[in-house]
Amino acid sequence: MVHINDLPNKILEHVFGYLSFYSRCNVRLVCRKWDSVSFSASFRTRKVVLAANRNLDLTILLQRTYSNVSIRFDGVFPNKSLENLHVLPSVVPSPKSVRLYVSQCRHLNYVEPVIDFGIVETLYLSGKMNSTTVEQAFQLQMDRLCSLYLDVFDIGNVRFRMPNLRHLNMVVHSQEDLDLLREFINQLHSLTVWFRVPYNFYHFGMTNLRHLSFNITQEDLTESERNIITLLKHCAQLERLELAAKSIGRCVLESIAANLPWLIELTVQASEGAIYVKPFAKLPRLERLRIVGCHVSLDRVHLPSLLSLALCAENLEQGIFVEATEWFMGFPRLQRLTLMGQMTLPNILNSIIVQLPKLRWLRISRCCLVYLWQMDELKAYHPGLAIAFD
């Protein structure tokens, strides 16, 4: 067996990158190459965190928690701390991923001279832009940016230039957020939207979109089913859809099946009402289906191309009721099945497995009336099936 001190530095860099903080503390006691690896230029470029605290002098911590740079502005900083930001380019000369938490728009002015946003590929921007004073609009030119994660109040003073943006994950707080979405919607391949307030963007063109995650689970939102159906008509090329709402009517499910012929992966989440799987039979390419709710009906379902199915309870205390379990035979090619929070009996589980000849992996989680010794018997009856139970 090779000793850790005999491994080259390049291999140790990858090993240290996968270890937790406590594991690295233990490794440093026996590894003589600890200093040469942890302070090497290539390792620091990927694993350095910049911690900014308004009460203390700015310090650089080799915590190896985030890739590249994370900066948090949570108040007014003294000039000495802001001057220490200029050590950042010498530590991370070419960051690929940047995480910023700002409380004022002018905080971006502090960061721009020390970070080359033109080479950043992933940006996480969160916080609240304090607009109590009139500030000049700030422009971010990011030619290589591919992914943007945005959760900011009052983003109106910031202008983005992102010609290569393909993935956008944003929380909609105001009309300015929708203006930003309207500007880049045509070039997006993946979009994740969380609504905090009810706004309408269903008339936007989404010609290039391949992945859409849409969340309107807030209780104060009153989105109608007609608006959701209108949205789906603009996304005919979607391959992945995640739809979360307080309740999802059957007409919405039928609209998904009618308007999204290229759909491969579908996630449907509803906290109220029943979810009917039968309309999805019109999706010829559907391979992965995940349903989160309190009531699921499998009556007369037939999905010959489905490979993975997950039925999960929206509330684990209440569980999920699966209606018409005898129709599991409608998934002849199913290989992976997950049941979470279902109230079932072992004999019903056995009948489900018998109906699925291609099943290779089964996960049982938080299911009432199912115990470990019963799972051991189930494994003995089906030795070719991998079963996970918790």
pLDDT of residue 292: 93
Residue among 172, 173, 118, 124 at smallest CA distance from 145: 118
Is position 253 within any domain?
Answer: no
Residue among 156, 154, 267 at smallest CA distance from 217: 267
Identify the three-state secondary structure at position 49. Answer: strand
Identify the three-state secondary structure at position 193. Answer: strand
Is position 60 within any domain?
Answer: yes
Q: Token digits for 173?
A: 């707080």
Q: pTM of the entire structure?
A: 0.74
Residue 40 has, within 13 A of its CA and on its CB side, a CA count of 17
Q: Token digits for 179?
A: 């203006």
- 25 and 129 inside one domain: no
pLDDT of residue 198: 60
Q: Token digits for 150?
A: 């945005």
Instruction: Determine the residue type at 62.
Output: L
CB 162 within 8 A of CB 142: yes
Work out how many domains the chain is built from and give that number: 2
Is position 230 within any domain?
Answer: no
3-state helix, strand, coil in the chain (%, to 5): 30, 30, 40
pLDDT of residue 83: 66
- 94 and 115 inside one domain: yes
Rounded to 5 degrees, φ, ψ at 27 are -65, -35
Other CB atoms within a 10 A radius of the CB of residue 299 amount to 12
- 112 and 147 inside one domain: yes
pLDDT 10s digit of each residue in the chain, 390 long? 567 777 787 787 777 777 766 677 677 677 777 767 766 666 655 555 545 444 444 454 544 444 578 888 766 655 556 666 777 776 677 788 888 888 777 778 888 888 888 889 999 998 877 654 445 677 888 999 999 999 887 777 788 899 999 999 988 887 777 788 888 888 889 999 887 666 666 666 677 889 998 887 765 444 567 777 877 888 888 999 999 888 888 888 999 999 999 999 999 999 888 899 999 999 999 999 999 998 999 988 999 999 999 999 888 778 888 888 888 889 999 999 999 888 776 678 888 888 898 999 999 888 877 778 888 888 888 888 888 888
- 55 and 93 inside one domain: yes
Is position 119 within any domain?
Answer: yes
Is position 136 within any domain?
Answer: yes
- 71 and 141 inside one domain: yes
Is position 148 within any domain?
Answer: yes
Domain holding 139, by residue range, is 49-162
Is position 95 within any domain?
Answer: yes
